[in-house]
Amino acid sequence: MTGKRRAWIAGAAATIVLLCVLFFWIGRSSGVRSAVQKVNEGRVPKVLTARVRTAPIRRGEIRSTVDAYGMVVPAPGGRRTIALGYSVRIAQVQVSNGERVSKGAPLLVVDAAPQTRLALDRARNDVKAAREQLRVVRHRYQLKLTDKTAVIQSEKSYSDAKAALDNLLQQRAESVQTIRAGSAGIAWGLSVKKGDLVAPGTPMLALVDAGALEARLGLEASDAGHLRLRQRVAVSPVDSSSGRLLTGRIRAVGGAVDPATRLVPVFVSLPPSAQGLLGSYVRGEMTAQASQGLIVPYASVLPEGGKEILFTVEKGHAVRHEVKVGIDNGREVEVAGKGLKPGDRVVVLGNYELKDGMAVTVEPAS
């Protein structure tokens, strides 16, 4: 390569390097001037500020309530079951299930079943045989052919046979009879119809005292443990749009889980005005827990790494607080923590973006 050609290549390379350096400094100066211009025009914020909405901390009572569902049933002692000690045939049914009846009203007409007639005949024969046996034993005792023990045994056999016959006769087992209401009430649990043969002791019908009703509700075991006897319960029909509301009181709380529902039964005594609800499904609302303390809106408390926190606003900055949470009713929460007092403003909207000490702008409540 000639000397002239080497000189030409070296000059071209130097020129290219100078042009690159010149373009770099022109671009850098332009970018700096643009950034400064944006700051001066207010288009880039100098300090990060969060917009939040707040609510005051209050001191007062907070309650958590639970709902339970169940049915209105007769209270203990409020039901009188109708059953007979002998077999009968149902001749007539003169009342409907749920019907209100007055004292003396006819309920059922029954006739002796074939088994009962046989039992009457057998009881009469037993009495006749026992009487004859007793006569014979007494005669033998007079002849010194037996002892006093045999006489006592024969007398007892005769007494037992006569008592069995008298029991059937006193119940009018050999005749058609009308069973009437011994007191006013509601016919409930009717389990027979015309023509049925009913075994001895089988419940046929019950009369429920209209003023002795209760709601049998079911609760989770964790909720039932907070209840107390005589506690008020607001009871309303599940399928009613009338908004009818009754106030009952807890009579008893079950000590075991019902195997059918897996819930703990709670028995709520109802006022006399509930008489039209027998057999209906109802909802009961009751207080599970109550406490006095500092109360904040539910939205103000946030989970953070296994802890509970909230932010208050002080002099335009967010202040982080770790808190212990108490009763929570879904709308408000009981809290306890250092530096908290009634009247402080807690952040309820925008708190997920906050850090301790961050500048905030509080929006007015809508």
Q: How confident is the model at residue 117 (pLDDT cuts 50, 70, 90)?
A: confident
Q: Taking all residues of the chain, what is their mean pLDDT, rounded to a whole number?
A: 86
**Of 119-123, 134-138, 254-258, 288-292, minimum mean pLDDT range:** 119-123
Average pLDDT over every residue of 155-169:
88
Average pLDDT over every residue of 9-35:
52
pLDDT at 176: 87
| 89 has a pLDDT exceeding 50 | yes
| 103 has a pLDDT exceeding 90 | yes
Terminal-residue alpha carbon distance, the chain: 86
pLDDT at 39: 44
Q: How confident is the model at residue 35 (pLDDT cuts 50, 70, 90)?
A: very low
Q: What confidence tens digit (pLDDT) does each residue in 237-282 have? A: 987 665 678 999 999 999 999 999 999 999 999 998 887 788 999 9
How far apart, in whole angstroms, are the C-alpha atoms of residue 356 and residue 137? 108
Prediction pTM value = 0.62
How far apart, in whole angstroms, are the C-alpha atoms of residue 240 and residue 234? 15
How far apart, in whole angstroms, are the C-alpha atoms of residue 340 and residue 321? 8
| 17 has a pLDDT exceeding 70 | no
**β partners of residue 106:** 180
pLDDT above 90 coverage of the chain, percent: 60
How far apart, in whole angstroms, are the C-alpha atoms of residue 116 and residue 76? 32
Closest CA to 75 of 236, 286, 216: 216
Average pLDDT over every residue of 34-45:
48
> Buried (b) or exposed (e) across 63-101, using 16+ Cβ within 10 A?
ebebebebbbbbbeebbbebebebbbbbeebebeeeeeb
How far apart, in whole angstroms, are the C-alpha atoms of residue 81 and residue 189? 9
Average pLDDT over every residue of 25-29:
48
264 or 165: which leads in pLDDT: 264
Average pLDDT over every residue of 324-351:
94
**Of 99-113, 163-177, 244-258, minimum mean pLDDT range:** 163-177
**Of 5-19, 173-187, 208-222, 240-254, minimum mean pLDDT range:** 5-19
* Cα separation values, 66 from 283, 289, 303, Å: 10, 9, 24
pLDDT at 4: 53
What one-character-per-residue DSSP string does 249-292 give?
EEEEE-SS--TTTSSEEEEEE--GGGGGGTT-EEEEEEEEEEEE
Burial (0-12, 13-18, 19+ Cβ within 10 Å), 113? buried
pLDDT at 319: 96
How far apart, in whole angstroms, are the C-alpha atoms of residue 42 and residue 237? 63
What one-character-per-residue DSSP string does 48-89 give?
-EEEEEEEE-EEEEEEEEEEEEEEEEEPTTSEEEE--SS-EE
pLDDT at 244: 75
How far apart, in whole angstroms, are the C-alpha atoms of residue 103 and residue 96? 16
pLDDT at 75: 93
pLDDT at 112: 87
pLDDT at 330: 87
Burial (0-12, 13-18, 19+ Cβ within 10 Å), 260? exposed
| 2 has a pLDDT exceeding 60 | no
Q: How confident is the model at residue 297 (pLDDT cuts 50, 70, 90)?
A: very high
**β partners of residue 237:** 282
Which residue is associated with the tokens 């925008």?
350
| 44 has a pLDDT exceeding 50 | no
What one-character-per-residue DSSP string does 90-107 give?
EEEE---TT-EE-TT-EE
108 or 12: which leads in pLDDT: 108
